[in-house]
Structures are given as structure tokens and as C-alpha cells.
Amino acid sequence: MPELPDVEVFRQYLSATALHKTISRTRVQSREVLQGISPAGMGRKLKGRRFADTRRHGKHLFVAIEEDGWLHLHFGMTGFLKYHKDPETGSAHPRVRFLFENGYRLDFDNQRMLGEVGIVDDVDRAVERMELGPDALDISSATFIHRYEDRRGGIKSALMNQEAMAGIGNIYADEVLFQAGIHPLDRVRDLGAEVLNDLHGAMRRVLKTAIDRQADPDEFPDAFIIPRRKAGATCPRCKETIKKIKVNGRGTFVCTACQPPPG
DNA sequence: AGTACCACCTGACGGC
DNA sequence: TGCCGTCAGGTGGTAC
């Protein structure tokens, strides 16, 4: 699930639920997801402290630990957060749990364990170390054009490259390209500054709309292609049949009428 | 610099 | 019902 809009919704959720509450203990159910810290180390770092603030960069979420560093959460393909009180109705795969003195807990659920939980001292340095590009909602049109105009290769893989720009994954890349009327296999170099500028605008609109709708495809506008990610669905714009292709090994949905394939 | 392919994990789904 | 291949909204390594 988690691309930029999903992680932004997680950030807002955590901010609304788990900030400023004293942590009584942590429970690590699957230590494979811990990065660079032991379960005991995690417990020592958090016990008796409170989460104080949140930041997001691309698909990464950071949670300030009162006066001492940041919790770093990365969700992989299957992660989400759940703040709840009842151990019975909690999440199905809670890999790490943060228990609060008020009886609630925040679960880091991560079915496939492709996510990561760690501690970092400084968010900016962590972003630098992971070699993440500018956040897709922060990047200006000028920087966007600058970073892409000389790239070789296809536009979809470029949008998904987290070093070029952070936050876009397989699903939202398809949506952004659909909204911009650009085929995922178009060569970046052939697009030109004007088209890149349009693409940047389409990207901002898609991301903001998705966040407005809580990243819930059921709430997306009719003009979005995300809720129609299945072979044989019809294009919301022209009613042609949506095609499924592979781009860099990833399932990719296109309307070849609205997104003409490269020559 | 890009891409193709495999790997990491767990689970759902369709075909036989 | 059971087994099997395939696929999945992420990322990293390696080989070309």
C-alpha cells in the first residue's frame, strides 16, 4: 500500500493518536524488521518517553522521540499503523508494538516483513544516507525539470527512482502518467520541458487529491485510473479498454488511446 | 546510466 | 479439497 499519499495519511493518523503520550514499553514480535537496533535497545530508547512530532520524506516516516532522536518507519509493500486498545481486535501482523501508559498501543503491522523500523539521530542526515531525492510534494517545477530532462530511459522508471525524487511508487506512477496523458515507456529525454512541467502539475494534483481522500481508492474521483487496475476495465476518459503491460517487471495499467505508446 | 533478473517474505487467487 | 504457478502499491544486489 504505502506510497507518498499513504504514508502521509499514516503520519496524520499517528499525529492525531499517538503523540504526547507516555510510552510504557515496546514489544518486538518480529525482530527481522528492526534495523540497527535490538529489541532491548528499542525498549531502552523509548520507555518513559513520548512521541513529540512527525515528519515524512517520500515513503519514509519519522517520529520524534522526546529530546532524543527519531523513530524511523518504512512500510515496504504491506505496512500500516493501527492505534487501538483491544489486543483481540488489533492488527493481524503487528511486528512492533508501542504500548502507552493510557492502555492504548500503536502497532506497526507488516505482513510481508519488507518494512523496517529503526532509530536515527537526525532526519536530514538519514535522508541523505538513504540517498533520497527531494520529496515529490516539495519539489518545484524547475527542479523537477532540471532533474529529469537529461535522464535516459523510460519515464515510469524515472518517476519511481527514489534517488531522483522520493515518494512515487508503482501505483501512483501509473495514475500520474494517465492524468498527464503520457505513456510509461516514453523516453524521458523526448518529453521536453513543457511536457515535464505539465507532468509535474499532474503529479501534484494526483498526490494532493489522494491525500485529501485519505489515500482510499474508493473515494477517488471518477477520472482516476487507480480504482480500475484490472485488465478489461474501461478508461474513465475515453471508455477504451485499459491494458495491462509490464514496465521494469512491474504490472502497469495504461489506456493506449489517452497515452499513445512511443513511436 | 539503465535495465533485467533474482531475492527478500507472506498470502491471496485462479486453474486444474 | 488440494496443489501449483503467479502476482502483489518496496527495495537491494548483480550482471549485462
Q: Dump pLDDT digits (tens) for A149-170.
A: 999 999 999 999 999 999 999 9
Percent of chain A with pLDDT over 90: 95
Dist. CA A172–CA A220, nearest whole Å: 12
Dist. CA A153–CA A162, nearest whole Å: 15
**Is residue A148 scored above 80 in pLDDT?**
yes
**Is residue A144 scored above 80 in pLDDT?**
yes
Q: At a CB cut-off of 8 Å and minimum separation 6, what does A219 contact?
A: A213
* A94 phi/psi in degrees, rounded to 5: -75, 105
**Is residue A41 scored above 90 in pLDDT?**
yes
| A102 secondary structure, DSSP code | T
C1' of B2 to CA of A151 (Å): 10
User: Is the Cβ atom of A146 within 7 Å of strand B at any atom?
Assistant: no
| Closest CA-bearing residue to C1' of B9 | A112
- H/E stretch holding A148: helix A141-148
Model confidence pLDDT, tens digit, residues A203-248: 999 999 999 999 999 999 999 999 999 878 999 999 999 999 999 9
Model confidence pLDDT, tens digit, residues A69-128: 999 999 999 999 999 998 777 789 999 999 999 999 999 999 999 999 999 999 999 999
Greater confidence, A24 or A88? A24
| Closest CA-bearing residue to C1' of B1 | A152
Q: Which nucleotides of B are covered by protein (CB under 7 A)?
A: 1-6, 8-11
Judge whether A80 and A107 are in contact, CB under 8 Å: no
Average pLDDT over residues A33-48: 96
Q: Is 0.95 topped by the overall pTM? A: yes
Dist. CA A51–CA A65, nearest whole Å: 5
Q: Which nucleotides of C are covered by protein (CB under 7 A)?
A: 7-12
Judge whether A253 and A244 are in contact, CB under 8 Å: yes
Mean pLDDT of chain A: 96
